[in-house]
């Protein structure tokens, strides 16, 4: 297998494992079963090991005393710091997205959360979780800022946060998400950025409260 093919395969395995963590298939503290991944993904140990090392470098996984790789469990204080960092990075990413987003992309964003009706079923709740992650990831992409995109890829802001699940209930965040989308639609970069920063800082405050408790 050539070098390019190996890289593509490693990227595929990396994306698959990362999605399993984001979707809660692999949970914090769980040991990665490499044999199971090999069978499930139909690949050899080499791309799996490469992907696991890459995820360890992002502090999404960790090795414990040579016992293998585990999904990292983040402490309450680590999550508080994570959401403060996200507020800074994603607030700016959202402002930049307003400057760079196309009309078709605005139309696409308008579809996010459009079908959320309450109370949510269990299935709809998990769908909201996925939409939440996709929304935040999409705005980082739409910033068109390579450094911000690299920071998210290298440090895995979104996937780290996903290990916690939703910090606040959808009934509370749905209005914030829709307000951000409305500000983007109005091409109000300042307001959209401020709304995103406030949105994430409210989640930080909720986490900080749980730390104190």
Percent of the chain with pLDDT over 70: 97
Q: How far is CA 209 from CA 80, 83, 164, 187, 190, in A?
A: 10, 13, 15, 34, 28
pLDDT in tens, 41-88: 999 999 999 999 999 998 899 998 788 999 999 999 999 999 999 999
Provide mean pLDDT across the span 21-33: 93
CA 131 to chain CA centroid, Å, is: 10
Sign of the Cα torsion 137, 143, 146, 147 reads negative
Give the length of the chain.
213
Contact present, 9 and 48 (Cβ < 8 Å): no
- The closest of 11, 31, 8, 7 to 19, measured between CA atoms, is 11
pLDDT attached to residue 2? 52
Omega before residue 97 within 30° of 0, cis: no
What is the residue extent of each domain of the chain?
A: 3-71, 76-212
pLDDT at 154 over 90: no
* CATH number for the segment(s) 76-212: 1.20.120.530
pLDDT attached to residue 202? 98
pLDDT at 157 over 90: no
User: Global pTM?
Assistant: 0.87
pLDDT attached to residue 186? 98
The top-level CATH class assigned to 3-71 is mainly alpha
The domains spanning 3-71 and 76-212 adopt the same CATH topology: no
- The closest of 85, 106, 206, 197 to 152, measured between CA atoms, is 85
């Amino acid at each position: 297998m050539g070098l390019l093919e190996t890289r593509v395969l490693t990227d595929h395995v990396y994306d698959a494992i990362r999605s399993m963590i984001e979707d809660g298939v692999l949970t914090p503290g769980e040991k990665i079963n490499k044999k199971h991944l090999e069978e499930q993904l139909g690949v050899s140990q080499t791309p799996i090991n490469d992907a696991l090392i890459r995820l360890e470098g992002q502090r999404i996984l960790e090795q414990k005393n040579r016992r293998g790789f585990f999904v990292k469990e983040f402490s309450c204080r680590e999550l508080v710091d994570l959401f403060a960092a996200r507020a800074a990075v994603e607030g700016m990413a959202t402002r930049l997205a307003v400057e760079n987003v196309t009309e078709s992309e605005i139309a696409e964003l308008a579809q996010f959360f459009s079908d959320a009706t309450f109370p949510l079923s269990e299935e709809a709740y998990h769908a909201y979780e996925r939409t939440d992650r996709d929304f935040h990831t999409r705005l980082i992409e739409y910033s068109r800022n390579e450094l911000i995109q690299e920071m998210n890829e290298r440090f895995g802001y979104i996937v780290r946060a996903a290990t916690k699940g939703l910090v606040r209930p959808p009934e509370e965040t749905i209005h914030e998400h829709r307000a951000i989308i409305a500000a983007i639609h109005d091409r109000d970069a300042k307001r959209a950025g401020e709304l995103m920063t406030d949105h994430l800082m409210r989640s930080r405050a909720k986490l900080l409260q749980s730390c104190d408790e």
